[in-house]
Amino acid sequence: MSKIVSACLAAGMFASGAAMAADNADPHQWLEEVTGEQALDWVKARNAEAEARLANNPAFARTESAIREVLDSDARIPGVYKMGQYYYNFWKDQANPRGLWRRTTLAEYRKAQPAWETILDLDALNKAEGENWVWHGADCLRPGYERCLIALSRGGADADVTREFNLATKSWVEGGFFRPEAKGGLAWIDQDNVFVYTDFGDGSMTTSGYPRVVKQWQRGTAMDSARVVYEGQADDMYISAGHDDTPGFERSFVSRTLAFYNNEVYLVAADGSLRKIDAPNSAEKSAFRNWLTFELREAWTIAGTEYPAGSLLVAGFDDWMAGKREVEVLFTPSQTTSLAGYTWTNNHLVLNILDDVKNRLEVLTPADGWSRAPLVGAPSFGTISVGAVDREQSDALWMTSADYLTPSTLSLVQIGQQPEQLKSMPAFFDASNQVIEQHFATSADGTRVPYFIVHAKDMALDGKNPTLLYGYGGFEISLTPGYSPSMGRAWLEQGGVYVVANIRGGGEYGPRWHQAALKANRHRAYEDFAAVARDLIARNITAPAHLGVQGGSNGGLLTGNMLTQYPELFGAVVVQVPLLDMQRYHKLLAGASWMAEYGNPDTADWEFIKTFSPYHLFDAAKSYPPVLFTTSTRDDRVHPGHARKMAALMLAAGKDVTYYENIEGGHGGAANNAQAAHMQTLAYRFLWERLGGDKAQAE
């Protein structure tokens, strides 16, 4: 036990969740000092304990090496995007842990081993500048693609800097556009003007910690003197702006995000005045050429006709802005379908539809009305995604597909023709004896909840299989089948069973699935997850002693609630970069931006929020399964204090707690492949050991 923990115990600084609720005191708040000396000493002591407990053995080393081999493999598919005549990619491997920004031609890319031209070497840059930059992307100005705005983050945090780069000379532009470190960004208008939304000083950021003001900044002038385009309110979430440089349809827009799935979009006129696009804040609004699309998250009545939530509508952009209210319906959801996304090509609109969590693609073509047909050659199962190669020049698509057992493939698709497979990831684990099934559990209120299960064909139904149940259940994010070599090597090949639950709060059945678990109804997500756990047990696939759960961020809140509300169902719990203290979450980093999802604990909302706040639900008198908490010091989205405080609370009560905090990594938890492999191995080995995997393997 560390000196800090011993001193805190002697001083009576630790308390149970019940005691905190009674006097509203938080004896662990000192752990919210992210880089405070006392807090970091506590972190280092816990890290050392975690390493000693989990990492100092041959099995850990083998698993870590197997995962690292995957992450560093040159056999991974290098995803590319087209700018001008070149195809660009950002690549990390063992020799380039921070990564290379590079490019090639399509003719080279078709080859098994393309020749790449390096544009920027981040490892070399870090060495030259004495920094620890992590790539956050590049925005290059059309049509010449010579000047680029490159975003770089220290250690993987959300806050970053933006620097101007000359692609022709492969060098930074001396005296070019530069945005100091903050959350925000730069966006091109033309070569001498950008939109800038960032920290301009006192009062310029929202309570969520994001930009409140967007300005137009001219080259050669001071950023502080830039002209204000729009100012939001302090309690908004995020203000930004962008320029659509589609030839013949050049327009600038301001986006005012009030909360997740709640935004206003304004067209910027030539004189700088703003015209709001007249549509509900809940609708996603997007323009391409003279089309204006609305993706509905709530029902909307237009000219006497009601369109249900989940629909996709289209109107003429100029007509709509002129006051006409005529729309066409491109998609209407059913009880089993939702719109996963859509992409424009030169002459078509491609819809990606989920039907009971399985993708299918439709091609819509505007003419007299809109004709539709299936996308030729699309796989019949698995997760499929498409994106335009160059939507203003061709109808070509990139198509990727995968499932839990089938490695990812990348194909080039010309609409109406069979796909041309360009790349395929090799099989990183032996799936020949594995099978994928989809089942449905029944939640507490009778709702049908889908889940996928991956297991050996000869799995014994004896209740002894080490089983990992994964979930998220928030922010309308869907979990669809994907190929994970790390999971395959560290879990399936060892004899484990892998399960993914598509619980409410996610987007698997569109907005209604998400909205069913908001705020006071948050319990439904947790009831769904528990129902899947019980279904696995009822099928005799596993038993509580052999059933573990894993989730991160909002999924960490999910697994934190599994730990505190359903401890009898699980033999081990992994809680990653989590929210856990739901009384203070809105006061920590970006937490205020999530109140539309969870509620405001400073109001009467606390009455329902406290029912899913693991930090307050913990009871020192109860028994809990072993738990691993992981987080990152550099996570400036979800505060590491959540995981720190919960671990301290449980440790003080003598519970079986393992804690590990990566010093870098941001919200993703790792800044390079070595860190990622180590963090993943900690979770897999913790679960395998606690769920009896070593014993099952021996048998």
Catalytic residues: 553, 667
Token couple for 165: 């780069």
- Do residues 691 and 466 lie in contact, with contact meaning Cβ atoms separated by under 8 Å? yes
CB 331 within 8 A of CB 544: no
Give 576's strand partners.
552, 630
Looking up tokens 């039907």 gives 355
d(CA 641, CA 94): 32
DSSP code for 354: E
CA–CA dist 559, 569 (Å, integer): 12
Cα(55)–Cα(18) distance, integer angstroms: 34
For 544, how many CA atoms within 13 A lie in the half-sphere containing its CB?
13
Q: Coil, helix or strand for 14?
A: coil
Please, what is the end-to-end C-alpha distance for the chain in angstroms?
Answer: 36
451's CB contacts (< 8 A; 6+ apart) are 438, 439, 440, 441, 499, 500, 501, 502, 532, 535
Peptide linkage before 308 cis (omega within 30 of 0) = no
* Residues in the chain, overall count: 699
Sign of CA dihedral 646, 652, 653, 657: positive
Which two three-digit tokens encode residue 471? Answer: 């979930």
Distance CA 681, CA 630 (A): 12
Phi, psi of 377 (to 5 degrees): 85, 5
Q: Sheet containing 185-190: which strands, arranged edge to edge?
A: 185-190, 193-197, 213-218, 227-231
Question: In terms of Cα–Cα distance, which of 572, 553, 560 is closest to 688?
Answer: 572
- DSSP-assigned letters across all residues of 69-124: HHHH-TTS----EEETTEEEEEE--SS-SS-EEEEE-HHHHTSSS---EEEEEHHH
Residue type, 351: L
Q: Decide: 616 and 15 in contact? Cβ < 8 Å.
A: no
Phi then psi for residue 661, to 5 deg, are -125, 120
Contact present, 240 and 214 (Cβ < 8 Å): yes
> Can you name the residues that pair with 365 across neighbouring β-strands?
371
Any alpha helices (H) in 254-328, and if so which ranges? 317-321
Tokens read off for 634 = 């550099």
Q: Quick one: angle between helices 641-652 and 37-50, nearest 10? A: 70
What angle, 0 to 180 degrees and rounded to 10, lies between the N-to-C axes of helices 3-10 and 641-652?
70
Given a contact cutoff of 8 angstroms between Cβ atoms, the answer to whether 668 and 657 are in contact is: no
